[in-house]
Amino acid sequence: MNIILLGPPGAGKGTQARHLVETRNMVQLSTGDMLREAKDSGTEMGKVVADVMARGALVTDEIVIGLIREKIATVSTDGFIFDGFPRTLAQADALADLLEAEGQTLDKVIEMRVDDSVLVARISARSTCGNCGEVYNDETKPIPADGKCTNCGGTEFKRRADDNPDSLKTRLMEYYKQTSPLLGYYYAKGMLNRVDGLGSIEQVQADIAGVLDA
């Protein structure tokens, strides 16, 4: 089963994707992770990516689609989670064409919906482990009293400089401008499913499982 996870910054897509990877043998395809991995891989595609990034140029849709094609052709999995792609209608069409060419389908699109004001408050209190990236929150999941990450035991934690109300509102506006056409696109195809992204981690997991198992 191949799915797209949509949601604004801080909605918890990464947390939910990790859970699906662990429990359903799926593979998360994050555009940023794939580009960094390709840049250091030494493959022909990797050399192209490294050159583009070294020049500070924008990575084209063709490059990203090429990286996704490589993953689909070489990785054994029970399904892919597309995270950060597609971002435009042209990318959505390109992804559909790629999956069809590979004999696969896009099965579900899940939007993690949020209340913006609650999300801004949540992210402003967010910090991450500097070693493994585990996310903590001053209110809902504080850093352990012993100062050690529960996931890896790391002791360095950091906050993003742009995790503040003004920057977050700008990022949310950009997200909605990009994503609104995609929501209409997948709704028209009968593929769009919505879950409450501000529930507890366990509740969101259960809601996503309900969508996937329906």
Mind telling me the catalytic residues?
Answer: 13, 87, 126, 160, 171
Coil, strand, or helix at residue 5?
Answer: strand
Cβ(68)–Cβ(102) below 8 Å: no
Of 78, 133, 69, nearest to 101 by C-alpha is 69
Q: Give the helix ranges, DSSP H, for the chain.
A: 13-24, 31-39, 44-54, 61-74, 89-101, 116-124, 165-188, 201-213
In whole angstroms, what is the distance from residue 18 CA to residue 143 CA? 20
Tokens for 159, please give them: 């906050």
Query: How many CB atoms neighbour CB 188 within 10 A?
Result: 9
Comparing C-alpha atoms, which of 102, 106, 105, 85 is closest to residue 182?
85
User: Edge to edge, what strands does the sheet with 3-6 contain?
Assistant: 27-30, 80-83, 3-6, 108-113, 192-196
Q: How far is it, in rounded angstroms, from Cα 204 to Cα 187? A: 21
